[in-house]
Structure 1
Amino acid sequence: MGCANSTAKTEEIQKLITVFGATGAQGGGVVEFLKKDKCFKIRAVTRNPDGEKAKKLIEEGIEVVKADQSDVESLKEAVKGAYGVFLVTQFWEAFDEEKEYNEGKNVVDVVKESGCKHLIFSGLENVEELIGKKCPHFDSKAKLEQYIQESGLKFTIVRYSFYAENFYSLMKPLKDDDGSFSFNIPMGDYPLDVIFVNEAGECITNIFKAPEKFVGQAIGLSSVCQSMKEYATLMEEKLGVKIATPKITTEDYSKLGFPGAEVLAVMFEFYQTGKCDRDVAMTRKLAPSMSTYEEWVDKHTEEMKAAFS
């Protein structure tokens, strides 16, 4: 998956990639791998160019621009002259399906107008159509996928899995009265696809490098797929903790009372159906350097220990 015209001077063959959400999880991972590759120049898009992550990118010599997906004029500047665009949209900040769709549509329209050659969009399935229950942070992206498919753009859809990083952050384990821990993740014995989100940026980079292989496709990204018991067993061995098998159901989860509990309960129910199409083999083909699950735990030992403290 080398650069085209590899005998030319690097500065002549580098293609500009605009990365939305460049200081977030997905976009940040994409930036990390793009900057290692001599095929591309990067334009990192953020709403907060004065933040610490943005300042770090600037220090590394990466172009950082301020843009908001609700501000069309700022989007025009962000994608001007770009060969490719990586687009990730935001549901959780406003919990607003329509807002996410409309903002994503703004970007797609501007990208088409700009003459961009390849849009990679971080999408998801339409859960409401597949299981008859609304899951807004999936459904909004699915509707945007459809809009992109009808736009005439050259595109690739990537669908991320459950973030492994959730194990030590948003969904870190709870300590039980007997000193053991458990994850409030209602998957029972069902397998759960997990993505190492920072490492998935290698997939995006290699799709940009070989667009003819991936244009028009939807690719489900997953680093590993196994049961929560299997994920927990390795954590026990590596971290010296006891992790109980979670007993919580999706119905119980929906009643936990925190913002988004009902939405996430439907997501987990969708995961259980097997209709969430992810491809570990393809993901690892696109990301040859991706860690094994054991290697990932070793790399994140300190974060995991803190989560179990």
Structure 2
Amino acid sequence: MSTIQTQIVTVFGATGLQGGSVTQSLLNNPKYKVRAITRNPESDASLTLQKKGVELVKLDQTTATVEELAKALQGSQSVFLVTAAQSYGEAEGQVGKKIVDAVVLAKVEHFIFSSLVNCEKISNGTLPVTHFDQKDEIKVYAEFQASKNPTSLTVSFVYIPFYYQNFETFFAPKKSEDGQSYSITIPFNPKIPIAMADVTDVGAIVSAILENKTKYANASIPFCHTVSMNDIIQSLSKFYGFDIQYNYIPPQVFGTFPFPNAKEMGNMFQFYEEFGTFPGLDLSIAPNLTHITTFDEYLSKKKQ
């Protein structure tokens, strides 16, 4: 009777939406052992992962050195990295590149990064979106390191659009002051189709990439369904059982609002309107790796 040769996959952000999806998908395959890098291994989310068989390594990737990160990655065949702008701010690019250096130092064979397009570059400098642009800088740096180490390092990239999950958090329906109506306010023209996705689809996509490292070497794989905000509002109204109004605010106006990152968010939605979410990227790859969840399917799962 043959035994399965397990591979260690280290996941950054394993307690978050993207990393959590990747972790769960890998746990379903006895071929993989998951290692999670976490600041707080005593948190409820971390302990839940540990109970499922995930190895926890305590490390603050923001302050850790390349050598400390490499030690945490030692023995890993693959690494999945998602960087959180809210955790790193303007240091996101610096932290991501440091992790890439650690991947090289630890002799990791396959590096998969959740990237985004460079809005500032594509818009010729008119629409900078820091948390997009810095991810692209990390991606470019990872490609550079792979080109320097072609026999030892393979890199692949996934691209995730606006999450369906955002309609449960920042863009959830808000009740009016008189309690008589609900609305959603987003700086995006409701008639223009926009790319969206269920973030939990990323786990199956990353698993498929890991299963065929050679085929997806240097690949950039976005996934999405394209839907208008008008259609989203109709589906949400049906789901909740009450009418929801859509308040469209031009992104240039939204960017002047007095809350953190309003300008960046306004630029992001203006970029979506003018260039789309994934300009120049191939949308045909992901549907061959897994079923891409529609918004109505996502809502149906919420009812279960």
TM-score, normalization by structure 2: 0.89
Of the candidates 121, 132, 136, which is equivalent to residue 130 of structure 2? 136
Indicate conservation of the 8 Å contact 1:225/1:280, yes or no. Answer: no
Give, as a single letter, the amino acid of the residue that structure 2 aligns with 1:130.
I
Q: Does 1:28 align with 2:20?
A: yes
Q: Once structures 1 and 2 are overlaid, which stretch shifts more, 226-235 or 174-183? A: 174-183
Give the corresponding residue for 2:256. Answer: 255
Give, as a single letter, the amino acid of the residue that structure 2 aligns with 1:208.
L
Q: Does 1:111 align with 2:103?
A: yes
Give the corresponding residue for 1:123. Answer: 115
**Secondary structure class of the residue paired with 1:109:** helix
Instruction: Give the % identical residues.
Output: 31
**RMSD over aligned Cα atoms:** 1.9
Cα distance in 2 for partners of 1:280, 1:150 equals 24
**Secondary structure class of the residue paired with 1:211:** coil
Where do 1:1-309 residues align within 5 Å? 8-10=2-4, 12=5, 14-69=6-61, 70-72=63-65, 73-96=67-90, 99-131=91-123, 132=125, 133-152=127-146, 153-176=153-176, 179-188=180-189, 189-222=191-224, 224-277=225-278, 281-288=284-291, 290-301=292-303
Give, as a single letter, the amino acid of the residue that structure 1 aligns with 2:271.
F
Cα distance in 1 for partners of 2:170, 2:266 equals 15
1:276 positional shift: 2.2
Cα deviation, 1:256-282, whole Å, max 9, x if unaligned, reads 211111111111111112342266653
Cα distance in 2 for partners of 1:279, 1:165 equals 24
Cα deviation, 1:222-250, whole Å, max 9, x if unaligned, reads 2x211011111111122211122332110
Cα distance in 1 for partners of 2:263, 2:111 equals 32
Cα deviation, 1:31-75, whole Å, max 9, x if unaligned, reads 011101122111111111111110001111211111222302431
Unaligned runs of 5+ residues in structure 2 are 147-152
1:83 positional shift: 0.7
1:139 positional shift: 0.8
1:252 positional shift: 2.1
TM-score, normalization by structure 1: 0.88
Aligned residues: 290
Cα deviation, 1:154-206, whole Å, max 9, x if unaligned, reads 10011111111110112212224583322221111221211211232111111
Give, as a single letter, the amino acid of the residue that structure 2 aligns with 1:245.
Y
Cα distance in 2 for partners of 1:105, 1:94 equals 13
